[in-house]
Amino acid sequence: MVKVVKIGGNVIDNQAALARFVKDFAAMTGPKILIHGGGKLATRLAEQLEIPTTMIDGRRVTDAQTLDVVTMVYAGLVNKRIVALLQAEGCNAIGLSGADGGAVRATRRAANPIDFGFVGDISVEGVDADFVLSLVERGVVPVFCSIMHDGAGTLLNCNADSVASAVAVAVAKRCDTELVFCFEKAGVMADVDNPDSVIAQIRPQSYKTLLADGVVNKGMIPKIDGAFKALESGVKVVTIKHSEALNLECGTKIVL
Amino acid sequence: MVKVVKIGGNVIDNQAALARFVKDFAAMTGPKILIHGGGKLATRLAEQLEIPTTMIDGRRVTDAQTLDVVTMVYAGLVNKRIVALLQAEGCNAIGLSGADGGAVRATRRAANPIDFGFVGDISVEGVDADFVLSLVERGVVPVFCSIMHDGAGTLLNCNADSVASAVAVAVAKRCDTELVFCFEKAGVMADVDNPDSVIAQIRPQSYKTLLADGVVNKGMIPKIDGAFKALESGVKVVTIKHSEALNLECGTKIVL
């Protein structure tokens, strides 16, 4: 089973949480791939450089200056920090943008109805699973940031959750694959205010009930929808769990 | 013959010169590896962030903040831009810091007599030639920035010329290797003001004469000394030439 793990931005921003996650990820046995978000560092750097940050529906509008900022922060600082920490833990990581080795190609999002600038959308066809798995087979652990390219020389800012899903689905065409979303919460909660209310398993039928009862909150809906899409495309199981629980049997498992 | 090409900072700073170089590098036949300098972008970013830049003997004193800046600029912005441009030219490049795949390990420079901070020195033993050549054999072209790691989780700012030499010498233990330094001049000049005065070949004996006659200028001496060291360690030929002449038979060839 290849494990494709996505680590969210809030963990990246917290040095202690990141160090702990890196240790756990390095200790995780079996073939694995990491995809990391960006955290608030890019927004902070843009502020310092007096580049205005515009977010629409949670997506960063990425003009040329902002593309430079996210490329520096995600593909440079965050990616290399994580890779160096993993290497120190004995995990032979290799940091990748989509351009590296032609690993993942994205398509620039159309300027209508909203012009997001240098923002890309990911499809499974854009992932070179042969290349990614050739690294994995050599015991090398790919660590992706969410900066991809269009194949024509332009870098594109993409959504890390979408990168994780596309990579997992592409890999699932060759090997059994699990997709794990790690973040700062324990999983999908029946009661957001009660950390003990983690829903252990969600299946299509129970998801309908959770939606009808309004239990699943807004931000979680695209994540779970995405999870079902990945499952329908061949991923065996999608897990949503706390970044501190990577190697524990817990969190929310989403299965068909 | 594996060609290890170093491209200097002044070319990186000039978008037209870089685009032309990238096209030529992509068109160059045979196995190849690129090492790039950083250019003035890091100094400019540090200025914008009001981080003071201190240079001693041409080396950047690299405190923690400055390390973040050079990691963002060299490993992020410059490296990914070059890789995306090469991919657009049909060259399957992969951007690497020393931490990626454990490709190149450096040693932090001693704080005495001058504390350069997070600055590393490179040795041939630090280069994982097996890994680098495994990429080359698959038709993938490694593109190194000069950010390396110590293997214990710390990134180190290194000299790109030294990275190029160490990589070339490590590769030369397995295959015939040529080391090419590309910069904004036509080669080693008998008269710095006369671009037609390129010295076609330098051998140990003629180098002694050039030194005695004061023909070789200060900045060039460490480059040529380094070239002879690389030749003595197994590199077949070292060429110093203009970045616009990558695929032309010209420049200065240094041989034993």
B44, B56, B69, B157 from B47: Cα distances, Å: 5, 17, 10, 18
B136 lies in the same domain as B190? no
Tell me, yes or no, whether B91 and B170 share the same domain: yes
Q: Which of B36, B45, B77, B137 to mutate to test the interface with A (most CBs of A within 10 A)?
A: B77
pLDDT values of chain B reduced to their tens digit, one per residue, 256 residues: 999 999 987 899 898 999 999 999 999 999 999 999 887 899 999 999 999 989 888 788 999 999 999 999 999 999 999 999 999 999 999 999 999 999 999 999 999 999 999 999 999 999 999 999 999 999 999 999 999 999 999 999 999 999 999 999 999 999 999 999 998 889 999 988 888 899 999 999 999 999 999 888 777 888 899 899 999 999 999 999 999 999 999 999 999 9
Distance CA A226, CA A238 (A): 10
Contact B81 A71 (CB under 8 A): yes
- CATH number at A148 reads 3.40.1160.10
B163 and B206 fall within a common domain? no
Q: How far is B194 from chain A (nearest CA, A)?
A: 36
Look up residue A14 and give its two tokens.
């917290």
Which of B88, B151, B155 lies closest to A153 in CB terms?
B88
Find the DSSP H helices in A28-152.
Answer: 41-48, 64-70, 79-88, 129-137
User: Which of B157, B175, B193 is a domain's end point?
Assistant: B175
Provide the number of structural domains found in chain A.
Answer: 1
* B242 and B149 in a common domain: no
CB contact under 8 A, A151 and B93: no
Largest CA distance in chain B: 49
B15 in the same domain as B81: yes
**Residue B126 shares a structural domain with residue B214:** no
Q: Does residue B139 share a domain with residue B114? A: yes
Last residue of a domain, one of B160, B175, B190: B175
| B1 belongs to a structural domain | no
Q: Is residue B103 a part of any domain in this protein?
A: yes
Nearest to B97 among A80, A92, A147 (CB): A80
Q: Which amino acid is at B129?
A: A
Same domain, B169 and B194: no
Whether residue B222 lies within 8 A of chain A, CB to CB, comes out as no
Residues B105 and B94: beta-carbon distance below 8 Å: no
Residue of B nearest to A156 (CA): B84
B51 burial type by CB count under 10 A (0-12 exposed, 13-18 middle, 19+ buried)? middle
Q: Which two tokens stand for residue A97?
A: 């943008």
Q: What is the dihedral of CA A66, B74, B8, B236, to 10 degrees?
A: -140
Residue of B77, B96, B151 with shortest CB distance to A76 = B77
Give pTM, 2 decimals. Answer: 0.96
Measured in angstroms, the CA of A189 and the nearest CA of chain B are apart by: 35
Query: How many angstroms separate the CA atoms of A123 and A163, rounded?
Result: 8
- Residue B25 located in a structural domain: yes
Closest CA to A1 of A123, A134, A136, A186: A136
Amino acid at A124: V
- Tokens read off for B112: 């005495």
Q: What value of ipTM does the predicted structure carry?
A: 0.95
Residues spanned by the domain of B111: 6-175
**Interchain CB distance below 8 Å, B80 and A96:** no
